[in-house]
Amino acid sequence: MMTSDKMLSHVTGATGWMTFNNPERHNAVSLDMWAAAETILGDFAADDAVRVVVLTGAGGKSFVSGADISKFEAERSNTEAVAHYNEVTAGVFCQLEAMHKPTIAMIDGYCLGGGLGISVACDLRFCSDKSQFGLPAARLGLGYSYDGLRRLVDTVGLAFAKEIVFTAERFDAPRALTMGLVNRVVAAAKLEPTVSALAKTIAANAPLTVTAMKRTIGEIAKDPAERDREMCRQVSQVCFDSEDYIEGRRAFMEKRKAVFVGR
């Protein structure tokens, strides 16, 4: 399926792929692209056949290089326009963070600004060895949201988050791995096969269990007073009450691969 010429999506097996397709601008994102991304992610979330979502960028040079600055005069020229832009972008980040299905950022090249924000809103990040990361807000005079910085801190910790935002410098892939910004660095030619294989592995597991664990880990990341322990208990119990739990036990005893159906 294709939402627009600058935002592409398709489903392969149980994996939904969303591609930022603006390579002539290193996949810089405009307001209409953010709106299209919101639609695509909503479709993936509602499709029971999709068990894993992968985000990537077209062209082999960038994941996402940030906001399309050439559109700032039209899209972010005054307080009202900035508020609208921020509302749309925040909606996409929140969609990613709240999605019950695992999300993977497949990063090949520049991952800057809003691109870094997108990546840390995903569950996992895999990058090529030629990737570069950075948050240049301090060089542009931009404000940055609480939630955006919270996700960065949750990913790399306070000290590395401060280094990233205070310096506004770019970091190479090995440095990103040291910071914990990415899960793994691979050669560019191996990036898509690696991510595709990982997505297939996750999709083959019991989806109710994967969802329950993702939601529970999300609660663990919150302040203790805000954690919904009862929800965690309920989603865990759903797993034990499911057909998939029966299938998993039988497959183990019969020494075969389980076939999970998500109920």
pLDDT in tens, 118-164: 999 999 999 999 999 999 888 888 778 888 899 999 999 999 999 99
The pLDDT assigned to 91 comes to: 85
Q: Does residue 226 sit within a domain?
A: yes
The pLDDT assigned to 137 comes to: 86
Q: Which residues, in sequence order, are CB contacts of 74 under 8 Å at separation 6+?
A: none
Provide the pairing of β-strand 62-64 with 110-112. parallel
Residues 222 and 189 placed together within one structural domain of the fold: no
Q: Which residues, in sequence order, are CB contacts of 257 under 8 Å at separation 6+?
A: 204, 251
- Look at residue 21 and tell me whether its pLDDT is greater than 50: yes
Average pLDDT on 180-207 reads 96
The pLDDT assigned to 87 comes to: 81
**Which pLDDT tens digit goes with each residue over 70-118?**
555 555 555 776 777 778 888 898 899 989 999 999 999 999 998 999 9
The pLDDT assigned to 140 comes to: 81
Residues 196 and 222 placed together within one structural domain of the fold: no
Average pLDDT on 188-208 reads 96
- Residue among 208, 203, 207 at smallest CA distance from 234: 208
Residues 192 and 236 placed together within one structural domain of the fold: no
**Which pLDDT tens digit goes with each residue over 199-244?**
999 999 999 999 999 999 999 988 899 999 999 999 999 999 999 8
Q: Does residue 225 sit within a domain?
A: yes
Residues 227 and 162 placed together within one structural domain of the fold: no
Q: Does residue 50 sit within a domain?
A: yes
Identity of residue 244:
D
**Which pLDDT tens digit goes with each residue over 40-49?**
999 999 999 9
The pLDDT assigned to 68 comes to: 61
The pLDDT assigned to 231 comes to: 94
The pLDDT assigned to 4 comes to: 66
Which DSSP string do the residues of 119-151 spell out, in sequence order?
A: HHHSSEEEEETT-EEE-THHHHT----HHHHHH
Rounded CA gap, 114 and 107, in Å?
Answer: 13
- Residue among 209, 216, 210 at smallest CA distance from 102: 210
The pLDDT assigned to 2 comes to: 44
The pLDDT assigned to 20 comes to: 94
The pLDDT assigned to 143 comes to: 79
Domain that holds residue 94: 2-202
Q: Does residue 210 sit within a domain?
A: yes
Residues 68 and 84 placed together within one structural domain of the fold: yes
Residues 82 and 160 placed together within one structural domain of the fold: yes
Tally of domains within the chain: 2
Residues 47 and 164 placed together within one structural domain of the fold: yes
Q: Does residue 164 sit within a domain?
A: yes
Residues 195 and 247 placed together within one structural domain of the fold: no
